[in-house]
Structure 1
């Protein structure tokens, strides 16, 4: 397409087509770049610390102090084999899909118990 639009001579007088094509190409490259960046970066989804748990949500870390957490539970969705971690504080309630993580639901549950009781 780049050759056809810019170098074939067909659209030499049509600058509008060239500008539209630049924007379409830029949006396509951006839509490919963002998922590839996330895949290559390989950021942790859950980070357990002595004082808090950090959840990486769409590239932005969200932290909850262990003292803020009122309740947490790991639930299996009825119709599938998908597990969710639900963390509840006085202000918010977060639900995270943990089925695709390296550690299984039982290992994550053990980590939650260990860090929550500290």
Structure 2
């Protein structure tokens, strides 16, 4: 959503845009920096200003490739040239508490 807002806002200063939708400039800054969740009233105001449906504000979920060395976290870095494992996992998302994380998915069986 942050990217969508920045792109649609264009060259309009955050201060001017914030006034137009009835929030503080710092609110727009935190939303664009993904430091704050958006309230329902702000979502409604964004939809009105952009003449958009609420679904347009949220990007589609995408899958990213996560590369790991198979070394447990905190136990060091694998040697250069060692094999890596590739896992397809959902992209990073923010939870309802605003914390970043990845959705929990079962790992493929290892041999």
TM above 0.5, yes or no, is: no
User: Rg bigger for which structure?
Assistant: 1
TM-score normalised over the length of structure 2:
0.26
More strand by share: 1
Q: TM-score, normalised by structure 1?
A: 0.24
